[in-house]
Amino acid sequence: MSLPSVLTLIADRKAGSLKPEAIDVARSLVKGKAPIVLSDGEAVDIPCPTPGPGSASAATIRATLAPYQTDALLLKTRGRRKAVLVADMDSTIVTGETLDEMAALLGIGQQVAAITRASMNGEIDFETSIEQRVALLAGHPASVLEEVWKTVTLTEGARELVCTMRKHNARTALVSGGFTWFTQKVAELCGFDENYGNSLEIVDGKMTGRLDAPVLGPDAKLSHLEDLTAERGVQLKAALTTGDGANDIPMLANAGLGLAFHAKPNVKKIIGTQINFANLRAHLFAQGYKAADFVID
């Protein structure tokens, strides 16, 4: 009979293998059983009892394993595999911030990046920030979108995450505060079922500094999560969400498994399930998938 909880450890492959010492330390913290290898030298499951009074907290476990550059997720065994995936795009599925990169090419990078930082750190609301940033694009050629697309790079593990979950009948959606011009291309590249973002108004080959439709911000991200789970016929606890910024907090907080992925400090203060070292493959290990189960088609 399986134990009710599991501690999943995932190492940053670029920093080296998952160290046996880290596994031993983790087992002692949770009174865990022998590790189950999910990926040799990269990830293991440690079955363990439900944490009780006096048990090490998830935050303590995470901090203890951090020197090993190892992520630690303490999760319930039941219902680990999720039926819905909702992912942020910028600095999550792709490595950069597409709007910031557009601005840099247009010579307004510092102005836009300052607003982006304030928004992602929760210092100004997302709707205000996106309107301010888009306004700075007014009059500039839309051809900059193509230039940025040439430099867009998927985060390691992005295709594996989406394709593996789809193979196991999960519904997958890219939901971004960025522009649909990019979300459509990234979704196709990764294999997402659908994508949502903000529509940038372009007239006569130039950006007008306005959006075509209401802003897709944190509340809209949560609404998409709620709609997607309802359409899939499952509860929110059957969903996995991932993101890095303040506008992702509502969907991270309300999903069965919300993972703060290399997130901003204010996000990590609120969301306790975090991936701070590993790549997007960690989202599959968190669901109990083994590397042998991964697909990229």
- Positions annotated as catalytic residues are 88, 90
Q: Which residue has the tokens 């399986």?
A: 2
Rounded to whole angstroms, the Cα distance separating 49 from 235 reads 25
Torsion (CA) 177, 178, 179, 184 in degrees, nearest 10? -90
44 three-state secondary structure: strand
Closest CA to 117 of 215, 295, 246, 1: 246
In the chain, which ranges are E strands?
Answer: 5-11, 36-39, 43-48, 70-76, 84-87, 171-179, 194-198, 200-203, 206-211, 239-243, 257-261, 274-275
Residue 183 exposed, middle or buried by CB count within 10 Å (0-12, 13-18, 19+)? buried
- Residue 88, both tokens: 């942020």
Closest CA to 156 of 289, 284, 287, 286: 284
